[in-house]
Chain A
């Protein structure tokens, strides 16, 4: 029996190739997705890991809430460092200072743009070296003009020892001389970020205060445990600081990273799940067709005395052989795809952390499972069905008519699933937290439509009749052929449908979000320019001061935040320029106006006011971040949004209480409004610092669009696989149809349909099937996009459904292209068919 099965596999090379290709692509899709996702998440994880190998005990400021003191905890002092250095268990102590430092390359572009561009201090111990960094060339920085760079950054920007470079921190550009190039185990650097080291004094001035540190790391003497050293430190520890062992920190960090990445992991897993589903689907589909094609052959085996079980087994053996070959090659192809996807993303300018290609046992297991187990299962059902057909019936007719009885049951089930699915999705849109029901509903609806596609195929394809009429008889025949076996048409179209549903849904949601954010920014701001850091870190106050003095600037206001305690609860106070803010924003006031802003009078957003029961005239006891107490009076209530909300205070009132002034952004209104000259001169005033962005509304909007497009492109890349698999499904179906209808085709040729007509007929059938899948997919995608929008809309205020007509049209064209491409080979085959052989064959 095994030999028969094996011979079978080898006897039909074209068919074998087709099947292997289908399984291979299915497996490659799964493996590619898994490899890509685990590589990316692994790289992200590594990028946020910090080496704790040299740290036994670490002291950090404790930012936990303290009742009377809402501000950040104080930095660590030199005297604490001296104290802990002398502890009996301490071998050495390193004072660390960290912050933001961007390194522009020779063209003024940031190196490692998009990743953390960090700065730190070089803290030489007694031997003159800092154990955290290994100098590859040169030495550590020793004065205010010097800097050391990590070797990757130096490589990328082509900086050498002795070069003079610009370093952007949070204000004016610093001119530094490169004196050292080092390597480090810092995860962020490994992922593609940059790290610049200053001498400790300079770093303190930039990132803390003179003589203060942002952290202290201790190394224990041999024989002293981490716990023992920690106990020693605790005795000298001042208030509002915390101490932890290196082991615990490493442990906590691992947990934090896990938490941060869990969202991404879930998303990626969802993708792998879809990949798995589509993969399983295409394989099952292919085998159903394969066995159907072979019904006659199997019947012959039965007729010459093979038992049912032997027939089934021969199909299973065949499936195992095909599945194994395809699974292994598919896995390899998938690994290639995973690697390719990442370099594709990297070359498209996306920021994906570097790291080794990760191939987990799960990846291998899942891929082989899909390839072998699914193939065998997919072959088992149709194989059993084939074995059940009486031999004579199977031999007699090539095309067994599909039963209609099964369709009634099928349609009822499909309608039920789709109905419940729609109801759940609709109900979810009205819920506060409808994520669960919506996901469930979407899944059910998808399955329901999937089950219903045979039923839907008739009316939908009939709707295409007027268009097909243009193509004359081939068009009419194509339409009729497409609905001849509704199940097969449906199965073929659904592969495409799934892919396009996802693509369309994501596009609709992304478009809506982009539009919402864009609209929010435009609706709430009147400023001509928004100045902020590229890194999203705060700006130095000098930036705002400098801009205000520029001749072209008419009005300006920094937006600075200060943690405070209002009415007993911790609240961020937003400091603005009370005189200018009214001209820079477009906020709707329900009561009062910006005119009331100044002194101890503040304005608050409506939601906050309602939440805390504040009204115009309410007097709020407030503790500023420096611990000083005062009362603030509500003078106006405005409609807040994601960009501006909270308690707005005049900077003249707030700033004296703020220790480290840091502006989130600076809003500007200029005399000439928007002009390239103005923008240029503003940039020049800031020393052409690449880390500081001077943006118009359009720039901001483009940034958002770019970000969202980037995410979409990544998803499109993954989904492109699904589409490729779908093409194969269509090829399969058409090849099968041509095979089944060869006699008809022969007859058509004999009575006068030329080769072109036959080709056109097959092509149009393919087009009809593909467009059917495309229309269903786009329709479902829009529905899901709308529903998801309803769910997330309320939290985004200005969200509204934006139908991306252009993209939707593009997807439809894509579906049509799938149809045309898939028909190339089957159409050629049909046209080349020997008409006499076809007519005579019986």
Chain B
């Protein structure tokens, strides 16, 4: 481990993991997905989590986002401890404080774009903040397509709807799981641009899991994971720098 994750670039912490452990299975078939991870995600920062397949990067995100249970340690969103919450409270937390963008199957095919965007608020029975909603819709460039159904939109547009949905509820933190995985490079670049804009212009906090160095290049900070441990960290990354680091891990993995 070359760097610890206790730097002080920003002031407040949006989410924090302390000695977070996640173990699948029992006995001989036991697999340690996260072996005591401690990490902080600061407000108004765009963090990318990188690592090879099986490194635990998705698991880390799922545990931090309250989508999965943990085996030990603590995970906090703001000041709320997730590991002790019951399903109902956890669901409410996800609905009210967290925004999600998944790789695929992000939208409900029966709802049109704007209905999909306001879905979390509709579930909660809350009225969306009209002004904020307009800003969000404009930021992601969907103004003309709000009445379209998902199957009338391109893949990139669909993912932009998903970004807008994640943003619409003014979440404390947004989690994106391989958001460009199913997109061509141009649409992918657009989506990544919107994510960065939402951090720079709208002051949002974004945590993104990806294995694409180009995607990671959009972030303010990259956290590298391998074998369930944080192994490195990089601020103001470029795609090349990220690729370099990745190559080093690969080489290390091969020699060890």
Contacts and interface: CB of A to CB of B under 8 A. Distances in A.
Contact of A747 (B91, B102, B124): B102
Interface in A670-719: none
B108 A750 contact: no
B119 interface: yes
Contacts of A842: 104-105
A752 B105 contact: no
Contact of A473 (B65, B92, B102, B122): B122
B123 A839 contact: no
Nearest to B90: A754
A743 B102 CA distance: 11
Contact of A839 (B92, B102, B111): B102
Interface string A747-761: 111111111010000
A440 interface: no
A484 to B, nearest CB: 6
A480 interface: yes
Interface residues on A, range: 20 to 34
Interface residues on B, range: 20 to 34
B95 interface: yes
A473 B119 contact: yes
B120 A836 contact: no
Contact of B68 (A754, A755, A757, A836): A836
A481 interface: yes
Interface string A443-478: 000000000000000000000000000001100110
B92 A754 contact: yes
A744 B123 contact: no
Given A480-B110, A480-B111, A744-B108, A754 B100 contact: no
Given A473-B119, A747-B105, A839-B105, A754 B110 contact: no
Contacts of A476: 122
Nearest to A753: B123
A750 B103 CA distance: 13
Contacts, number: 67
A748 B119 CA distance: 9
Contacts of A481: 110
B146 interface: no
A473 B105 CA distance: 19
A403 to B, nearest CB: 14
B120 A752 contact: yes
A473 B122 CA distance: 6
B95 A752 contact: yes
Contacts of B100: 747, 750-751
A835 interface: yes
Contacts of B68: 836
B122 A751 contact: no
A748 B107 CA distance: 9
Contacts of B127: none
Contact of B95 (A480, A746, A751): A751
Interface in B115-150: 119-120, 122-125
Interface in A801-842: 835-836, 839, 842
18 contacts: A473-B125, A476-B122, A477-B108, A484-B109, A743-B105, A744-B105, A747-B102, A747-B105, A747-B106, A748-B123, A750-B94, A751-B100, A751-B120, A752-B92, A752-B124, A754-B87, A754-B92, A835-B67
Interface of A: 472-473, 476-477, 480-481, 484, 743-744, 746-755, 757, 835-836, 839, 842
Interface of B: 62, 65, 67-68, 87-88, 91-92, 94-96, 100, 102, 104-106, 108-111, 119-120, 122-125, 165
